[in-house]
Chain A
Amino acid sequence: MLQVVLTGLSVGAVYGLVGMGFAVAFYVTRVLNFATGQLLMVAIMLTAALSAAHWPIALAMGVGLAASTLGGVLIYLLAVRPVLRFDRLSFAWLVSTLGVAIILESVAALIWGTSSLSFPQLLNGNDVNILGGALTWQQIATVLVALGAVVAFEAVRRITLFGKLGTAISADPEMSSAIGANVTLHAAIAFALGGLLAGIGGVLVGPISFANPYLGETYGIYGFIALMIGGTERPAASMGGGLILGILATLANTYINPQASDWFPFVVVLAVLLLTPKGIFASGDAIRDRLIGLARRQPLTTSKATPS
């Protein structure tokens, strides 16, 4: 059981990174970049192809991550910004980002073929014992990097002016631009971060998944589910959603049947959406507000009727 949870965490950390990739871009622009999974694939494929061409692993990974980051920016500029200018609340971006996803996937398949390439092993495959369970160094690194990404992101969002402006833009872009925020720059950076987070997820999972053009679709869907479980209102919550999803999927495979992770996550997310349409973590807020509301009741009745 503990083993299952540990494995689930390491699997879920990658889903969480992709989910955060979705969430960061969505947070600022209210657009779901449906090519996020394909950006993960771009990072994996480039890293695998370059290291196969005897580049140093670190350099190959750097190029892969840079490509997914740049990819995010390009998607924003070419596929998202033009349709937002047209109508901010329409779903036109759903079509345009999916168009990009199809193109990226097919181009990768054209260049590298449809069969899997090998991916360089970064860390050795030795097991480490943790409280009776065992994880490889690779899996431990995945979890640590994912948690590091959450902490770094939250620090930037809450502490720096840049991060606060992002919050302001997500609430009201016109108003934010009136107070001097560069909405386009912020949005482009959000898409870049989305690409980077997905790319990080890619190079972390590469040694297990190998490099295949169709990985983007799989991880895109799981990342998206992580986003929906966590809720779209807070990017960091997607990591929570990813970890929950990873554990549930591993549990389902272990205890229901080996194919259960095909359908189990969807049932979970459907249940989550029906019970709490804004995600598990957002409804935590609602519960907290209700508790605070109860606490407030007492003083209010005493200090009643102060005309303001």
Chain B
Amino acid sequence: MTAARQSVHARSALWFTNPKARRATWACALAAYLGGASAIAHSSNYEQSLLLVAAVYSVLALSLDLVAGATGLYSLGHAGLFAIGAYTTTILNTHYGWNVFLALPVVVAAVGIVGVVIGALSLRVSGLYFAITTLIFTIIVNVLVSDLSITGGYQGLPGPTFPNFPHALSPLGSALVWAVAGAVLLTITVTWSIRSSALYPALLAIRDSEPFASSVGVRTAATKVAIFSLSAALAGLAGWTFSFLGFITPGQFDTTAAVNILVMVILGGMNTRTGPIFGAVFIGLFPTVVTINPLWQEILFGSIFLIVIVFFPGGFVGLLARAGREIRAKATHTGEAQASVAPGTRPSHSNGSAPDEPREVTAPFRPSVGIDLRATLGSSTAAAREREAVSEIALEVHGVSFSYVKGTKVLDGVDFVVRRGTVHGLIGPNGSGKSTLVNLISGELPCQEGAIRVNGRRIDHLPAWQRPAVGLMRTFQTAGMVSELTLRDNVGLGLFSHLPRIGPRSLAWPLLPSARRDDEKVANIATAALGRVGLEEPWPGSRALDVPHGVEQLAQLAAACVGAPRILVLDEPLAGLSRQEVDQVAAILRDLKAQGVSTIVVEHQARFIFEVCDEVTVLAAGELVKAGSAAEVRSDERVRQVYLGL
């Protein structure tokens, strides 16, 4: 996966900072692409048929990488979706006489809808079971097209012929080549746009750490279904183009094909921009170019699977990236280090303005505060806070009970009140139900009994991803950041719920000026927030994978603060922190308090709790033992017995 991790920051290449150079590069790339397509459109039939298969596979592999590489949904159902696309096009054209261009939107939409159903499955079964369920989908489609008479059974059907260009356009060459080139271009645009959008880190978070994703406001279930549906629609598009390439038979869409698509992605390099294309071209051309005894060909094919996965697990692109790193390392050794950027560091997007002046950029942003509320509290936020400050109670938990297994109550009728602008400690022995309570407040767990109110408004029916919108953010006991993203990108995820319409905009992200502005703001606010928790350069540009645990914990705190929460829930924020870092956290909590944020801290370090908290609630065996001011609780006889052991 090192390849994938490297490529995450492909968008950080230096030319990105110069919009003219960027536009020129894209224009050249597009011209080269169209030139290539034109050359193929005029080439011989043999070359065309060869390259068109590879091109269709590219669409398929790119669509699979979107769900498998980025979102972690290892689908083996894409062969089935591909089959539905190809067969539907053929049947609509040959049986019902539909124009192929009329069939196109219908086919793409239909396969997209099937994708919604399969995507919904991913909510029930995950990981390996999702792969298996989707493989069974492919098998069922395959059995159906083999047995039905309308699909021509095992013999298959001759695909429709693609209409030629009208006479005026005939100098352009083969119309089919242009259609396929268009499909590939569309797929590249969509998948690459998503990879460069603010949605991409959210997808990775869904893949690696779903609770983290929903805690920052990512609508995980809907996102998974939507992204799978999009991927399925692209597979349907691939099927539409494939139907024009000749005969379609069930054998082209069997389980081997299902696995082959995944192999294309892995061979080329999973979760990379170009990897799936390389893999698709290789697998597409292999059987035609390597013409030996078919059995030997199979053996060679199997050996390639084995050798690539064992020796070059990052795929082809991973190999290239490694070579590139080595060359760069050599260059640095020869003394040209000054100009180069630290590995993994993303240069600031700020078009010349120094990155260490985040506040100016921060100001126009809606939540407008980042962690630094004290310095630049935007007036709108202050007004909003005043308006809401009707009740003194920030968070109220009333009569909440919870059982994981029926009959065994982990929480039993707990009342818990956090007053506005205080730091509230939640303590208790292991197994007392602290984490369960926190998970109920953040919506990780469904509330079974009782009520949870924020500012007097009941929130217990809201799903986790809607709770950041009521001003509730949280951190996790074991930090669950996306390991291949930089801390800056991880913290930037904390602003996810503040960016409007990420979903639709992600389809054309690099083309939208508003998106580029958002990228800059998010990067700057995130860097500033990291600075506030004491993580200056080079930490913001380091990958979460490479940083020590304490740093990840602090970054998590920054991610929760960056969206300017009104209520902050910290689940054991000190675990694994050094003495110095603990002081840092204490200072941050005081800061937040000064800004009127109400904080709930679950912690075992009694000293920290009584030093920092205004009020403390003690739980034991799922029941409330004592709640009151820190001093009161500390001197309580029962608390000493149950917990402090003093």
> Which A residues lie at the B interface, using CB under 8 A?
32, 78-79, 82-83, 86-87, 90-92, 94-96, 98-103, 105-107, 109-110, 221, 228, 259, 262-263, 266-267, 269-270, 273-274, 277-278, 289-290, 293-297, 300, 304-308
By a CB distance below 8 angstroms, the chain A residues around B642 are 307
Total A-B residue pairs with C-beta atoms closer than 8 Å?
129
Chain B 118-158 residues near chain A, CB threshold 8 A: 121, 124-125, 128-129, 131-133, 136-137, 139-140, 143-144, 146-147
CB distance from B278 to the nearest CB of A (A): 16
- Which single residue of chain A is at the shortest CB-CB distance from B431? A308
B309 to A101, Cβ gap below 8 A? no
- Which single residue of chain B is at the shortest CB-CB distance from A307? B620
B299 to A106, Cβ gap below 8 A? yes
A87-B1, A92-B313 are known contacts. Are A273 and B129 too (CB-CB below 8 A)? yes
A263 to B143, Cβ gap below 8 A? yes
B136 to A297, Cβ gap below 8 A? no
A269-B136, A293-B408, A296-B408 are known contacts. Are A83 and B309 too (CB-CB below 8 A)? yes
Instruction: Check B259 for interface membership: any CB of A closer than 8 A.
Output: yes
By a CB distance below 8 angstroms, the chain A residues around B147 are 259, 262-263
A86-B313, A273-B125 are known contacts. Are A96 and B305 too (CB-CB below 8 A)? yes
Chain B 258-307 residues near chain A, CB threshold 8 A: 259, 262-263, 266, 295-296, 298-299, 301-306
By a CB distance below 8 angstroms, the chain B residues around A307 are 620-621, 625, 642
A266 to B429, Cβ gap below 8 A? no
Instruction: Check B74 for interface membership: any CB of A closer than 8 A.
Output: yes
Taken together as a complex, chains A and B put the C-alpha atoms of A80 and B537 apart, in Å, by 40
A289 to B302, Cβ gap below 8 A? no
A106 to B306, Cβ gap below 8 A? no
> Which B residues lie at the A interface, using CB under 8 A?
1, 74, 121, 124-125, 128-129, 131-133, 136-137, 139-140, 143-144, 146-147, 255, 259, 262-263, 266, 295-296, 298-299, 301-306, 308-310, 313, 405-409, 412, 429, 431, 620-621, 623, 625, 642
- 11 inter-chain pairs at a CB distance below 8 angstroms, sorted by A residue, are A99-B306, A103-B303, A106-B298, A110-B296, A262-B147, A266-B143, A267-B140, A270-B136, A289-B405, A300-B407, A307-B642
Which A-B residue pairs are the 8 nearest by beta carbons?
A: A99-B305, A102-B302, A297-B407, A103-B302, A106-B298, A99-B306, A263-B143, A293-B406
**Most A C-beta atoms less than 10 A away, residue of B144, B405, B625, B642:** B405
A90-B1, A94-B259, A259-B147 are known contacts. Are A293 and B405 too (CB-CB below 8 A)? yes
- Which single residue of chain B is at the shortest CB-CB distance from A262? B143
Besides A98-B259, A259-B147, A266-B139, 18 other CB < 8 A contacts? Answer: A86-B313, A92-B313, A95-B309, A96-B306, A99-B302, A99-B309, A101-B302, A103-B302, A106-B295, A106-B296, A266-B136, A270-B140, A273-B129, A274-B121, A290-B406, A300-B407, A307-B625, A308-B621
- Which single residue of chain A is at the shortest CB-CB distance from B314? A86
By a CB distance below 8 angstroms, the chain B residues around A289 are 405
Taken together as a complex, chains A and B put the C-alpha atoms of A32 and B128 apart, in Å, by 10
